[in-house]
Amino acid sequence: MSSASYELVLRNGRLLQLTDAPLSEAQPVDIAIESGQIVAMAPQIAAIGQSELDLKGKLVSPPFVESHVHLDSALTAGQPRWNQSGTLFEGIEIWRERKQDLSLEDVKERAIQTLKQQAMQGVLYVRSHADVSEANLVALKALLEVREQVKDWITLQVVAFPQDGIYGSSKNEALIEEALKLGVDGIGGIPHYELTREDGVKSVHRIFELAQQYDRLIDIHCDEIDDDNSRFLEVVIACAIRSELGSRVSASHTTAFGSYNNAYAYKLLGFLRRTQINFIVNPLINITLQGRTDTYPKRRGLTRVKELWQQGMNLSLGHDCVQDCWYSLGTGNMLDVASMLIHAAQMTGLDEIDACYNMVTWNGAKTLNLANQYGVEVGKPANLIVLDAANRFDAIRRRPPVSYVVSRGRLLASTETPVTQWNAP
């Protein structure tokens, strides 16, 4: 009997790949894992593992990436009251009340519970915003502690997010700088909610200055409104071109882009060719938040997804909220997000459906600037998921549970595929 060579060997999987590569998606592949790394991949690995898993031809995919969520408000729906209007602005009012009661333990407990819920469903990379327009920075400090606490099984990025605007009070600008000193991964903003247009423009410039000063990523809640005069994306584009920060910059939501007149929208699309900024789309929440002041026809609350994708921009997806004052639903399942995008943005062509799967995987990794640590390849960290699905289309159409989640080379979670017992009459 031969001795064990690897800690873990996954056998007989079918590898989902971004581009054509030596290992065909249709051929079975074995994956050997040692010390948290993928060390070998081949149609058949002869050496045995201390542990082995037979994947029975299931799909092996890199993990899902949650590009945009607010873990500080997660699991608070109904506290202290329900959002009856369903608008972003009533949500902000409710959160302003709820955040008076935040404690480190409260935020940490809900954040970790949400992260577990996400990880069980194959999400191993998460970018969370933390509200930094509250005097004690409780949400931020809690999420920084959580980032450390969970690092052995999930990667969490924390973005300093001034929910009430950088210039919404005399204290907020100092608070966001304090957040940078405390070690956030990125800096955010909300120019369309600043008190004036001028404040909004100033806030975007300040964000870019601070990002350069502290060497951090940028992720701005940008034009999340139906107002076709909300035009802060152009300011983000201008700052991105001049700063050359490119792919370190993300514009989240940009729902007003869907309301701009075509002459203006196509001018912006032209400018975007000179940047490499990422767009983060949150279709579950924005299809419910936006269009609330419309009679009929009602807008869908989405940016120009198809046009941006056709132009080769990097788009990735987020839940935005999981059971809070802005969105009381949500499960953390990224296939739900991809499915909603396909419907709401009419991304129904076969290549478009595949692209929506890529938005919750590879594109998300690009948005988060994960560089070389993402992907199922020899030499990379052994983070992967196993789906009982034939391909991307099938995965999104049926949204089966993730059979196995392997994180840092260990089996983090496994879920049985439900079996229905049909009793014929």
Residues that bind Fe ion (CB under 5 A): 320
Nearest to Fe ion of 39, 233 (CB atom): 233
Least distance to Fe ion from the beta carbon of 69, Å? 8
Nearest to Fe ion of 96, 397 (CB atom): 96
Nearest to Fe ion of 131, 320 (CB atom): 320
Per DSSP, 257 falls in state G
Query: Is residue 400 classed exposed, middle or buried when 0-12, 13-18 and 19+ CB atoms within 10 A define those classes?
Result: middle
E strands along 59-171, which residues? 59-61, 64-69, 123-131, 155-161
Q: Give the residue from 53, 119, 112, 95 showing the smallest Cα distance to 324.
A: 95
| Omega of the bond leading into 418 within 30 degrees of 0 (cis) | no
- Count of alpha carbons within 13 angstroms of residue 120, beta-carbon side: 11
Write down the residue that tokens 């959160």 correspond to. Answer: 95
Least distance to Fe ion from the beta carbon of 183, Å? 21
Nearest to Fe ion of 83, 407 (CB atom): 83
**Which tokens belong to 219?**
């992720």
**Which tokens belong to 255?**
């729902």
Torsion of CA 139, 144, 149, 151, to 10 degrees: 130
Least distance to Fe ion from the beta carbon of 130, Å? 11
Q: Choose the catalytic residue: 224, 244, 377, 416.
A: 224
Q: Which residue is nearest to Fe ion (CB)?
A: 320
Handedness of CA 377, 408, 386, 31 (dihedral sign): positive
Nearest to Fe ion of 11, 192 (CB atom): 192
Least distance to Fe ion from the beta carbon of 380, Å? 29
Residue 296, Cβ neighbours under 10 Å: how many? 5
Buried b (16+ CB within 10 A) or exposed e, 331-356: ebbbbbbbbbbbebbebeeeebbebb
Collect all residues with Cβ–Cβ distance below 8 Å to 168 and sequence separation of at least 6: 133, 162, 193, 194, 195
Per-residue H/E/C for 315-333? EEECCECCCCCCCCCCCCC
d(CA 75, CA 321): 9
E strands along 81-234, which residues? 123-131, 155-161, 186-187, 217-222
Nearest to Fe ion of 15, 156 (CB atom): 156
Least distance to Fe ion from the beta carbon of 320, Å? 5
Nearest to Fe ion of 258, 375 (CB atom): 258
Nearest to Fe ion of 253, 304 (CB atom): 253
Buried b (16+ CB within 10 A) or exposed e, 258-283: bbbeeeebeebbeebeebbbbbbbbb
Write down the residue that tokens 């046009």 correspond to. Answer: 307
Per-residue H/E/C for 338-394? HHHHHHHCCCCCHHHHHHHHHHCCHHHHHHCCCHHHCCCCCCCECCEEEECCCCHHH
Least distance to Fe ion from the beta carbon of 41, Å? 37
- 97 catalytic? Reply is no
**Catalytic residue list:** 224
